[in-house]
Amino acid sequence: MRLILVLGDQLSDDLAALRQADPARDLIVMAEVMEEGSYVPHHPQKIALVLTAMRKFAARLRGQGFRVAYAALDDPETGPSLPAEVIRRMAETGAEEVLVTTPGDWRLLASLRDLPLPLRFLPDDRFLCPPEVFTAWASERKSLRMEWFYRDMRRRTGLLMAGSEPVGGQWNFDHDNRKPAAPDLLRPAPLRFAPDAATEAVLDLVAARFPGHFGRLRPFHWPTDRAEALHALDHFITQSLPRFGDEQDAMLESDPFLSHSLLSSSLNIGLLSPFEVCQRAEAAYHAGTAPLAAVEGFIRQIIGWREYVRGIWALKGPDYLTQNALNHSAPLPAAYWGAPTRMNCLSTAVAQTRDHAYAHHIHRLMITGNFALLAGVDPAEVHAWYLAVYIDAIEWVEAPNTLGMSQFADGGLLASKPYVSSGAYINRMSDYCGTCHYRVKERTGPRACPFNPLYWHFLMRHRDRFARNPRMAQMYRSFDRMEAPLQSALLAEAEGILARLAAGTEV
């Protein structure tokens, strides 16, 4: 008899370890353990999602004839950690081997690997690009730019291809996408799944066991099983995909979701497969219900960015998590945990995160990520925050996005230049500035938008590194053309903001 360990983000029928399981002989092991819920202070909705989805998946497996040993969080017999649970089940059953699909988290992988037990890891093949293919791709290149990887993935999957050429004659329709959002457009609301009795029981448990974690537990509306996830996919493809490209980078104070799919949590815990999601989007293009620019933009996020960050995570290993190329060391501002701030963009992004465990890509990259980078926050603290607060955060996808794309902590492996901006970008892509305490067009003075002086301060303190970057040289020339008093005022203003942040004073 063997134990088949199934983790909380491995809830897929075709999981590698489950494909090998023999219902007549093997025992599936699933466990809700305190360590997984608290190694960072996960958002309560994220804990509730994983526990509910695990319980429903266990019931599904039982329905398929498997025997499942399920340890609930409130069962006094349940061990504190996954290794402890594996040891307990081995002792109980005398099983000869444990099979597990490799986790997407170096911490957990190391703790399972250290067990003095016959434990066999199977590759997680729910991705479209196997690690060895990514490694071969990376080994042939000096620069690992996503765009080249993405084109190879289009060829590899055949998605949006006409023979060997991209459908529509272009690989990338970015110039048609990424507009500001029209505030008065009527958009369909995202699907909300009312919690059933099983979900309600988990919500009560999470409220009791994780009372101090940042974030609102209720209302909870995430898809928690495959049927709900398919329903959410259907809703996105028919209602929001046509505007996905246009609104991809836009932000509106009144609408945290715009035309985004909200599918990342279902994809990341295994309720949906990346290929089926892309096939549905491609079919919408061929049926004429969604334009090519929107469909291409959406598919790029999945077979491009999602597969690419998975490849980087696997290629670079655990050392990637501790990089800090810019030597940033400031603490994460208290505003990230909900302390008051007069910056409307930051307080809105954090409030949406608190309420929904969600913020779309541009909030994460150009508001919270941008501000942390300008403020020189220690990337390890930024990483711990993103890992905790988002419904879809699992190390393999969160870490390259945060440390690489957003914080430049890997020294430019993922991003050819740091994603920093002044307030002008936020003003162009959102409606936040109109009602903000600060004035986006002011560069100095008590009401100047903090992004403005901090932007120049960032560029100046990293001048040696970035001045020769062809994509940034123009900004250095702009600074050099300013009058000396303005240059000094900008840098002094930024120093004042950094000092206020360090002292924990509201900004």
String marking each residue 205-244 x if it binds ligand FAD according to CB under 6 A: ----------------------------------------
Looking at 206, 397, 449, 472, which residue binds ligand FAD (CB under 6 A)? 397
- Using CB under 6 A as the binding rule, whether residue 458 contacts ligand SF4 is answered as no
- Using CB under 6 A as the binding rule, whether residue 369 contacts ligand SF4 is answered as no
Q: Report how many residues bind ligand FAD under the rule CB under 6 A.
A: 28
d(CA 354, CA 214): 7
CB count, 10 Å around CB of 165?
Answer: 12
- Cα 168 from chain centre: 30
Site for ligand FAD in 312-371 (CB under 6 A): 360-361, 364-365, 369
- Using CB under 6 A as the binding rule, whether residue 392 contacts ligand FAD is answered as yes
Check if the beta carbon of residue 375 is closer than 8 Å to that of residue 407. no
Looking at 101, 323, 401, 430, which residue binds ligand FAD (CB under 6 A)? 401
Site for ligand SF4 in 329-368 (CB under 6 A): 343-345
Looking at 426, 490, 494, 498, which residue binds ligand SF4 (CB under 6 A)? 426
Per partner kind, with CB cut-offs from 5 to 8 A, the member of ligand FAD, ligand SF4, none near residue 309 is ligand FAD
- Using CB under 6 A as the binding rule, whether residue 52 contacts ligand FAD is answered as no
d(CA 426, CA 440): 9
Rg (CA), the chain: 23
Output the CA torsion sign for 300, 302, 307, 308: positive
- Using CB under 6 A as the binding rule, whether residue 267 contacts ligand FAD is answered as yes
Stretch that binds ligand FAD, among 89-97, 177-185, 298-306, 323-331 (CB under 6 A): 298-306
| Closest distance to ligand SF4 from the beta carbon of 252 (Å) | 13
In one-letter notation, the amino acid at residue 365 is: L
CB count, 10 Å around CB of 184?
Answer: 5
Per partner kind, with CB cut-offs from 5 to 8 A, the member of ligand FAD, ligand SF4, none near residue 466 is none
- Using CB under 6 A as the binding rule, whether residue 438 contacts ligand SF4 is answered as yes
- Give alpha helix (H) positions in 419-505: 423-429, 451-461, 463-466, 473-481, 484-502
Best CA proximity match to 372, nearest among 442, 316, 419, 428: 419
* Residues whose CB falls within 8 Å of the CB of residue 130, separated by 6 or more in sequence, listed in order: 123
Instruction: Tell me the two tokens of residue 49.
Output: 């999602």
- Cα 48 from chain centre: 18
* Residues whose CB falls within 8 Å of the CB of residue 361, separated by 6 or more in sequence, listed in order: 248, 249, 260
- Tell me which residues touch ligand FAD (CB under 6 A): 260-264, 267-268, 298, 301-302, 305-306, 309, 360-361, 364-365, 369, 386, 390, 392-393, 397-398, 401-402, 405-406
Q: What is the binding site for ligand SF4 (CB under 6 A)?
A: 343-345, 423, 426-427, 432-433, 436, 438, 440, 449-451
